[in-house]
């Protein structure tokens, strides 16, 4: 169990470093997924199987898929990667690196002093998590649900507005606009809004 913990930790750190340094966005996201999976293994070895699986289902399985989905739609090619590489100048990354190094030093200091460092004290069952979540931390759960509700209402509002705009466009019959956007092949081929015979 201890060996698994340290292996997973090393993988998590290496994958996270690779995430930051990749210039191809999809490759960076893939390393981030590996890092999340490694952290899930760390949770498992620390005796929290429920949290470990939630990490896989929610972070690696749902949120990162959405990230990849968006990046995939943006169709970033070689040019974007080159641009990214141009942005990564020393002037940009020295500041964050110094701050992170300080944090790292702090972690190393804590490890050397021997605070904590016990693996698998006891296994936390899903039931225990649920009991604490819905008694001691009920306020947190309620606040999170309110936030999600607000987010959902906002998303619905934005989506509904989008749809109304599109309908208006259809009503005025803006064929040139659609053809210009490359949306309507028939009309572009037969020359603008003249239409098919």
Indicate which single residue of 68, 80, 81, 174 sits in contact with other proteins (rule: CB under 8 A): 68
Per-residue tokens: 20: 């930051």
65 binds other proteins, rule: CB under 8 A = yes
Q: With binding defined as CB under 8 A, does residue 53 bind other proteins?
A: yes
Footprint on residues 119-178 left by other proteins (CB under 8 A)? 125-126
A 10 A CB-CB count for 38 gives 19
Least Å from the CB of residue 27 to other proteins: 8
Output b/e per residue, 149-176; b: 16+ Cβ within 10 A: eeeeeeeeeeeeeeeeeeeeeeeeeebe
Q: Is 183 in the site for other proteins (CB under 8 A)?
A: no
- By CB under 8 A, tell whether 33 contacts other proteins: yes
Total binding residues toward other proteins, as defined by CB under 8 A: 21
Q: Say if residues 8 and 42 touch (Cβ distance below 8 Å).
A: yes
Site string for other proteins, 70-109 (x = CB under 8 A): --xx------------------------------------
């Amino acid at each position: 169990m201890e060996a698994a913990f340290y292996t997973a930790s090393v993988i998590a750190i290496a994958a996270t470093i690779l995430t930051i340094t990749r210039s191809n966005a999809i490759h960076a996201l893939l390393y981030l997924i590996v890092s999340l999976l490694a952290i899930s293994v760390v949770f498992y070895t620390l005796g929290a199987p429920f949290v470990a699986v939630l990490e896989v289902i929610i972070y690696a399985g749902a949120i990162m898929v959405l990230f990849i989905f968006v990046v995939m739609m943006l169709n970033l090619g070689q040019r974007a990667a080159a641009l990214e590489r141009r942005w990564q100048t020393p002037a940009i990354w020295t500041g964050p690196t110094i701050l992170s190094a300080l944090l790292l030093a702090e972690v190393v200091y804590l490890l050397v002093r021997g605070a904590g460092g016990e693996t698998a004290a006891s296994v936390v069952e899903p039931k225990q998590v649920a009991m604490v979540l819905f008694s001691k931390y009920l306020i947190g759960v309620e606040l999170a649900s309110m936030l999600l509700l607000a987010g959902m209402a906002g998303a619905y509002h934005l989506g509904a507005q989008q749809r109304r705009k599109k309908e208006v466009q259809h009503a005025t019959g803006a064929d040139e606009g659609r053809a210009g956007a490359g949306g309507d092949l028939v009309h572009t081929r037969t020359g603008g809004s003249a239409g098919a015979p």
